[in-house]
């Protein structure tokens, strides 16, 4: 496939790639991918960081194209490629770039606008608008198969959204959050697919057992609203957006299309249903303890810790609404997040969103050894809003943080040392940063 980069940009890319590749080959530098957008183009770049010093020593622009105006979620394949979703209704697609200087960018036309993307081996699973699930062969840069879930589920399914891949990569759990605008196609269900052939083994329609928090005049909002799922041991957990809580069932039964031992809990700080809007999660492992940190996007905010073995809440603390997915660092026994500030507000006819980002780093400290005694501390980062965070490095853990003077427009990348609690370096991003690779 021909390069989609303009010739001048392609030449510049090759020169920079040669320099960066040589630099990487002679050091322990780490390269972290991220999506970005400019006024009339967008794409994928990488920040090159020296973990021993925290210095951002360079960058590579792997894709900068006017055909990639709304790039967002970035995933890395086992073969060292970066794949980004481009949100476009007219030309929905994925872009694929290689970290090797010998490859050029490729694009894959999708059946509809993409939402979530997960990688299993060299296969991409994509949830799309128009009720479409698509399977992409990354190596061949083509859609291998796709289907309309409203036509193959009974009752008809609506709008696949979240994707969870089990640790052994044998199953994918896909959430369907909302009903359709007419209410005829049903969400509030989880599907389980056996990998790699994507054979559906379960369609789990969740209990709609809290009608008092349904939005009566909105046919889309008539159920719990499952979004983010997670499997640990024999527990399948899922966040419930509209119900403002988390639900649990037995994973062994779920895999054979049975709902067994279903229970649900609110994640609000005051125990109310329908107000928390759990929106971001992070697994936490401490000795024999297996848990999930859940961050609320409801107006009251809050962060809670879910015990996956006992299936209950063991800790909760007030924090602002809209924390990003926390990053857990096992060797420090701490989790870190920033507040991009997405707030979900329940109104009479719908749920609306506003954004109020914060300027601090939030740390959940488990070093006491008692998860119920964990503490939350905040560290101011800069005069800019802190809106994205990821971990880099192995020998020495560091955080990479995206900063910006305007909400939802981070343009600076900074390295942060969680041990000394200070910013080590910062550099401008290639454009407005969308997401770090996950």
Using DSSP's 3-state secondary structure scheme, residue 297 falls into coil
* Measured distance CA(163)–CA(364) in Å, rounded: 26
Q: What is the pLDDT of residue 396?
A: 84
* Measured distance CA(183)–CA(259) in Å, rounded: 23
Residue 34: both structure tokens together: 């991220």
* Measured distance CA(41)–CA(63) in Å, rounded: 10
Q: What is the mean pLDDT of residues 185-205?
A: 97
CB-count burial class (<10 Å; 0-12, 13-18, 19+) for 154: exposed
Q: What is the pLDDT of residue 394?
A: 73
Q: What are residue 64's phi and psi, to 5 degrees?
A: -145, 100
Q: What is the mean pLDDT of residues 278-288?
A: 95
* Measured distance CA(201)–CA(7) in Å, rounded: 48
Q: What is the pLDDT of residue 101?
A: 66
Q: What is the mean pLDDT of residues 267-281?
A: 97
Highest-confidence segment of 7-16, 96-105, 216-225: 216-225
Q: What is the pLDDT of residue 28?
A: 85
Using DSSP's 3-state secondary structure scheme, residue 66 falls into coil
What secondary structure does DSSP assign to 88-137, as a single string?
A: -SSS-EEEEEESSTT---EEEE-SS-EEEEEEETTEEEEEETTTEEEEEE
Tokens 């002679």 label which residue?
26
Q: What is the pLDDT of residue 218?
A: 95
pLDDT in tens, 196-218: 999 999 999 999 999 999 999 99
* Measured distance CA(281)–CA(328) in Å, rounded: 10
What's the pTM value of the predicted model, to 2 decimals?
0.90
Contacts of 11 (CB under 8 A, 6+ apart): none
Q: What is the mean pLDDT of residues 98-121?
A: 90
Distance between the two ends of the chain, CA-based, in angstroms?
26
- Cβ pair 191, 198 in contact under 8 A: no
pLDDT in tens, 38-61: 999 999 999 999 999 999 999 999
318, 319, 325, 329: CA torsion to nearest 10 = -80
- Cβ pair 269, 245 in contact under 8 A: no
What secondary structure does DSSP assign to 382-407, as a single string?
A: -SSEEEEEEEE-SSS-EEEEEEESBT
Please report which residue ranges of 162-256 form alpha helices under DSSP H.
251-254
CA-to-CA separations, 51 to 39, 296, 331, 395, 419, in angstroms, rounded: 32, 32, 16, 8, 13
pLDDT in tens, 124-148: 999 999 999 999 999 999 999 999 9
């Amino acid at each position: 496939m021909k390069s989609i980069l303009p010739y001048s940009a392609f030449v510049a890319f090759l020169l920079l790639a040669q320099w960066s590749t040589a630099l990487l080959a002679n050091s322990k530098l780490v390269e972290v991918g991220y999506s970005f957008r400019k006024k009339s183009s967008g794409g994928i770049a990488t920040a090159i960081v020296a973990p021993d010093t925290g210095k951002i020593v360079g960058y590579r622009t792997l894709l900068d194209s006017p055909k990639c105006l709304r790039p967002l979620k970035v995933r890395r394949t086992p073969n060292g490629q970066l794949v980004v979703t481009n949100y476009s209704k007219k030309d929905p697609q994925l872009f694929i770039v290689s970290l090797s200087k010998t490859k050029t960018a490729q694009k894959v036309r999708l059946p509809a606008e993409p939402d979530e993307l997960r990688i299993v081996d060299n296969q991409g699973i994509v949830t799309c608008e128009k009720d479409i699930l698509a399977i992409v062969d990354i190596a061949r840069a083509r859609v291998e198969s796709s289907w309309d879930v409203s036509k193959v589920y009974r009752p008809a399914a609506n709008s696949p959204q979240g994707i969870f891949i089990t640790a052994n990569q044998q199953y994918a759990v896909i959430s369907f959050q909302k009903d359709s605008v007419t209410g005829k196609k049903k969400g509030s269900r989880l599907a389980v697919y056996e990998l790699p052939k994507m054979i559906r083994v379960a369609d789990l329609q969740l209990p709609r057992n809290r009608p008092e928090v349904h939005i009566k005049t909105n046919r889309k909002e008539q159920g719990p609203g499952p979004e983010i799922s997670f499997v640990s041991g024999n527990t399948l957990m899922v966040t419930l957006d509209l119900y403002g809580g988390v639900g649990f069932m037995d994973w062994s039964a779920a895999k054979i299309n049975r709902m067994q031992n279903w229970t649900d809990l609110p994640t609000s700080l005051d125990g109310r249903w329908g107000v928390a809007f759990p929106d971001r999660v992070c697994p936490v492992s401490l000795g024999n303890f297996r848990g999930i940190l859940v961050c609320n996007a409801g107006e009251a905010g809050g962060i809670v810790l879910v015990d996956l073995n006992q299936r209950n809440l063991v800790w909760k603390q007030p924090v602002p609404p809209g924390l990003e997915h926390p990053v857990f660092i096992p060797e420090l026994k701490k989790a870190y997040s920033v507040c991009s500030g997405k707030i979900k507000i329940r109104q009479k006819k719908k749920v609306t969103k506003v954004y109020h980002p914060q300027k601090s780093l939030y740390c959940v400290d488990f070093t006491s050894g008692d998860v119920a005694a964990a503490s939350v501390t905040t560290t101011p980062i800069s005069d800019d809003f802190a809106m994205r965070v990821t971990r880099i490095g192995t020998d020495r853990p560091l955080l990479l943080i995206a900063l910006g003077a305007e909400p939802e427009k981070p343009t600076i990348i900074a390295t942060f040392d969680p041990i000394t609690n200070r910013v080590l370096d910062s550099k401008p991003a290639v454009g407005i940063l969308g997401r770090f690779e996950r």
